[in-house]
Structure 1
Amino acid sequence: MKKGPLTPKGFRDINPPIAKKRREIINKIADTLENLGFNPLETPTIEFSETLEGKYGDEEKLIYKFTDRGDRKLALRYDLTVPLARYVANNNPQFPFRRYQIGQVFRGENPQKGRFREFTQFDFDTVGVVDINEDAKIIAAAIKSIKELGFKNAKMAINDRENFKSLKVEDIREIDKIYKIGKENTRKELLEFVEKSKPTNRLTQIFEILKSEYGLSYQDFFFDPTLARGLDYYTSTILELKPDGKPEEQSIGGGGRYDKLIGMFAGREIPAVGFSFGIDRLTELV
């Protein structure tokens, strides 16, 4: 039979068995989140270009932009966080606002194994409160969700940006890459810094809440002094979920507290903490 047109580079069809598997994963996570008080939210796939511009630094060049027949400058959404910020500013929901969202996002980066220009994000966040109980709820929700999917050995790596306040940006980035480049290629003074690092008072309190309120233990989470993530994004708690509990593993999701982003359209700071699952990575491993 004659073949039809190809899909554009970085885009793909998802065959029925994989699509079914993805749907089962999404449904199990959604059920867990709803049991913990999170509600679904949907936002448009297309936003005005100016809504997304100036929010992603050097990554802005990856946004898919176009002009429609009405001469309006539009863009495909790059993530689900900026649309969440716009929604909060326009709808003024009651705080704490706990939402989850599943949606396609688009980035014009170079495709490679496991990375596409269109992919599915599954985000959940609590907006509007600084209470560390909400950090604990996000962590517990992610751990309970992944256990429901059969990842019995999964653990959440946790750190606090406060631990890095005495370091230069380049030092933090080197620490964040220790497991990638190897300890033998990391400066001795930074290795010593990591060895001396301890959970902050904030993290100690979060750990106690995870144990007392959610029945979790150090079999479910651990302190990772090398974890840094987005330096311009997260403000305190930082999270990465490891499928087999090993800090050097590729994560299956990440997140943390970001108190300076959601209020970008509202003209005031609005605290938030959240987490995002990588559905493609999860589908590979389940």
Structure 2
Amino acid sequence: MNLSIDSIVKRYRRATALDSVSLELEEGLYGLLGPNGSGKTTLLRIVADVLRPTSGEVRLDGVDKDRLGGQYREVIGYLPQEFGLYKEFTVIDFMLYIAALKGIDRRSAVERSHMLLEQVGLEGMEKKSCGKLSGGMKRRLGIAQALLNDPKLLILDEPTAGLDPEERMRFRKLLSDISGQKIVLLSTHIVSDIEMIAGELILIENGRLIGSGTPEELLEELRGQVWTAKVTEEEYGAFESALLNTNASAHPSARIVNVTRKGSGIEARILAEEQPLPGARPDEPGLEDLYLHCFKSKYEGRRGD
């Protein structure tokens, strides 16, 4: 199966949300990374056929989704960023209601609903009112309903919002298990959600595609630019002050990724093209480093935060 996103543009009156975004997706899990407001949700809504682009096409196996119509929507599973529930429904009633909207016969719907509720950790909650679910439970129910029709194209917008660490681990395992037979497009700004399961990353900022590739390929480009330095509090304070003084900084391209107190000193993780401090040693880059490197414009003026 192939999904082509071809020169997608979305304009509003005073802003361009997407600017000529093109992608070719095969079966597998794709992590769509970008800061809030970068255009991720707009792109997913267009792919999910709930928002029309200003120009460009989305094609499934070479056929424009608009020509496919209902056939296209039948193969989609979609979890929007803002997921609404009917509070008076029970969990199982809601699943069966969504199944009916998707044209799934009742016997299959009942069987699949119970299986999916177990997979997302909501077994035993079938008779619980949706209005009494916690935020994490509502998100898990949203994931379950997106999988009801066993979609070939699964679109998930910030799916782990509100989930605790154990729930997120369960979710990542579920996605890893199913992504071999589907195209899974997952939008997030939380790199840990996709660090271990995404086969390819798609980087988007200000409505533009700024990069894509496997995590290994993208991290290789950052090799030699991640440093760890063990310093005294005084040395760190002087370095941080130099970074904040944008007019006179000796390290204009350096950014502090993380700071950990070690005994009486400080261990700082720093992004820099050259050794930022005496004694700083090169370190292996990670996705958090990549995120800050690629989306540095969002963090200008907030160095050291």
* TM-score where L is the length of structure 2: 0.24
Identify, as 1 or 2, the structure richer in strand.
2
**TM-score normalised to structure 1 length:** 0.25
